[in-house]
């Protein structure tokens, strides 16, 4: 009988048990703030204004094209760079190099966008932002299951949602301030993205993966690994599909928000209106994400909060469908913030508990993040069809309600997480 001890599992592949401190959590959140400023300042305001500047008569089509191409890029980039970070054996750790290079590349791509005045240049620039931003995003998402124990993940998920929402709010503010000067706006976003990565990079708390800890990379096997069989891992499959539908519902509410205020509600300052709605949304996200994230940590029951939050998002969409004055839109933003904030916190914790493999967390979370990105491809098409052919903005928002309700139903099928 062999008396050899079992092979030691590298720390990078273990389930973490030590609680993480406030400084480490804050550094993760700040990275999320920066990346989401890079995403949301253009999505909410700058891209719409840029498209209008290029061709006002085709602004909706240009915006849909740019955001759809960017989202298609992000669907590939997020799992790809997540998988590459899983295998990175740098002395700086698995995730830090991708966060550092990714955020710097986002800044460079934004500066390029500030110089272009063509549809092709806008499409290329936004595709580069999405590729680089998702490289950084995949890595920082994977830090949570790498370093944070299960009993802290609801809280950390809530604070990550806070970072995402803070990035959206700052992005809307930059959009309003820079509405008259797009070059300045893109430059300001670029600086913000770069600076927000500095604390985490300098902290040097990443886990190093020893060389040879994983099997040598084989291209065919690597490509096949992106398919996670829902029959073998059904909870992962149901959680992925539910997340896709909820993100699609939310994206349908947001994709034409600037034009909704401008063309439907006739708001005198639509960029300012976007900032107001985003601020209301952000406050509600922050409140609900932290509150419900902690609740789900304490009782360990994630699904009930995810279902409730999906129902609230659907209610927000129904309200927006019948909105004819700005104050009703404000109430819709409040409901969306409460629902989506609690969803972001609790569903993220749920997802980390249904990942198939410890040695591929970055890749598996990247596959999950396709459920975040794919709606950005689908939503502009659905939005354009709804607004142009199916009855305008009421049809758009009612579509959002239907898919959100479907997402609420699907999450009940997850069995391994209470």
Confidence at 118, pLDDT banded by 50, 70, 90: very high
Report whether pLDDT(4) > 70: no
Per-residue model confidence (pLDDT) at position 128: 97
Confidence at 340, pLDDT banded by 50, 70, 90: confident
Of 237, 248, 399, whose CA–CA distance to 321 is shortest?
A: 399
Tokens (6 digits) for 120: 């092709």
Report whether pLDDT(387) > 60: yes
Residue-wise pLDDT for 261-277, tens only, equals: 988 898 988 878 988 89
Q: Could you tell me if 178 and 386 are in contact, meaning their C-beta atoms sit under 8 angstroms apart?
A: no
Q: Angle at the Cα of 161 (from 290 to 83), degrees rounded to 5?
A: 130
Which residues fall within 8 angstroms of residue 215, CB to CB, at 6 or more apart?
Answer: none
Per-residue model confidence (pLDDT) at position 2: 44
Per-residue model confidence (pLDDT) at position 301: 78
- 299 burial (CB, 10 Å; 0-12 / 13-18 / 19+) is exposed
Rounded CA-CA distance 302/307 in Å is: 9
Q: Could you tell me if 167 and 281 are in contact, meaning their C-beta atoms sit under 8 angstroms apart?
A: no
Which pTM does this prediction carry? 0.75
Per-residue model confidence (pLDDT) at position 97: 95
Residue-wise pLDDT for 149-188, tens only, equals: 888 888 888 888 778 778 877 887 887 787 778 999 999 9
Per-residue model confidence (pLDDT) at position 326: 94
Mean pLDDT in residue range 201-222: 76
CA distances to 31, 66, 149, 190, 361 from 352, rounded to whole Å, are 19, 31, 10, 30, 9
Residue-wise pLDDT for 47-63, tens only, equals: 988 999 999 888 888 98
Residue-wise pLDDT for 268-315, tens only, equals: 888 789 888 988 988 898 888 878 887 888 877 788 888 999 999 999
- Which domains are delineated in the chain? 21-206+226-411 (1.20.1250.20)
Report whether pLDDT(196) > 80: yes
Q: Angle at the Cα of 26 (from 362 to 335), degrees rounded to 5?
A: 85
Average pLDDT of the residues of the chain: 86
Q: Angle at the Cα of 72 (from 400 to 135), degrees rounded to 5?
A: 110
18: helix, strand or coil: coil
Asked whether the CA dihedral 400, 402, 403, 407 is positive or negative, the reply is positive
Confidence at 111, pLDDT banded by 50, 70, 90: very high
Confidence at 103, pLDDT banded by 50, 70, 90: very high
Which residues fall within 8 angstroms of residue 204, CB to CB, at 6 or more apart?
Answer: 92, 93, 96
Report whether pLDDT(43) > 60: yes
CB atoms within 10 A of CB 17: 8
Per-residue model confidence (pLDDT) at position 217: 64
Rounded CA-CA distance 138/133 in Å is: 9
pLDDT > 90 fraction of the chain, expressed in percent and rounded: 38
Rounded CA-CA distance 338/328 in Å is: 16
Rounded CA-CA distance 277/328 in Å is: 11
CA 199 to chain centre: 21
Confidence at 222, pLDDT banded by 50, 70, 90: low
């Amino acid at each position: 009988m062999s008396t050899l001890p079992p092979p030691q599992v590298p720390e990078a592949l273990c389930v973490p048990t030590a609680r993480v401190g406030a400084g480490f959590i804050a550094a993760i959140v700040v990275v999320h703030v920066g990346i989401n400023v890079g995403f949301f300042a253009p999505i909410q305001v700058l891209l719409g204004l840029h498209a209008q500047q290029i061709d006002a008569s085709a602004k909706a089509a240009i915006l849909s094209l740019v955001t759809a191409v960017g989202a298609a890029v992000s669907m590939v980039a997020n799992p790809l760079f997540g998988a590459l970070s899983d295998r990175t054996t740098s002395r700086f750790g698995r995730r830090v190099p991708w966060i550092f290079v990714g955020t710097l590349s986002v800044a460079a791509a934004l500066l390029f966008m500030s110089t272009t005045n063509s549809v092709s240049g806008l499409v290329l620039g936004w595709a580069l932002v999405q590729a680089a931003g998702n490289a950084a995003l995949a890595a920082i998402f994977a830090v949570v299951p790498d370093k944070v124990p299960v009993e802290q993940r609801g809280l950390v998920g809530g604070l990550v949602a806070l970072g995402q929402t803070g990035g959206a709010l700052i992005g809307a503010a930059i959009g309003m301030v820079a509405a008259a000067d797009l070059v300045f706006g893109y430059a300001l976003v670029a600086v913000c993205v770069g600076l927000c990565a500095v604390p985490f990079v300098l902290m040097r708390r990443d886990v190093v993966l020893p060389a040879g800890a994983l099997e040598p990379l084989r291209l065919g096997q690597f490509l096949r690994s992106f398919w996670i069989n829902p029959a073998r891992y059904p909870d992962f499959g149901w959680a992925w599909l539910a997340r896709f539908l909820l993100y699609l519902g939310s994206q349908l509410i947001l994709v034409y928000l600037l034009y909704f205020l401008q063309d439907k509600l006739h708001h005198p300052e639509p960029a300012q209106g976007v900032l107001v709605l985003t601020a209301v949304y952000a406050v509600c996200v922050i409140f609900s994400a932290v509150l419900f994230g902690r609740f789900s940590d304490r009782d360990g029951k994630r699904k009930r909060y995810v279902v409730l939050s999906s129902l609230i998002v659907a209610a927000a969409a129904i309200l927006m469908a019948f909105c004819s004055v700005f104050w009703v839109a404000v109430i819709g933003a409040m409901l969306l913030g409460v629902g989506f904030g609690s969803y972001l916190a609790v569903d993220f914790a749920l997802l980390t508990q249904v990942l198939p493999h410890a040695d591929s967390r970055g890749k598996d979370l990247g596959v999950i993040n396709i459920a975040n990105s794919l709606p950005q491809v689908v939503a502009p098409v659905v939005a354009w069809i709804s607004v142009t052919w199916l009855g305008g903005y009421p049809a758009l928002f009612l579509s959002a309600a239907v898919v959100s309700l479907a997402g609420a139903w699907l999450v009940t099928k997850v069995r391994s997480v209470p």
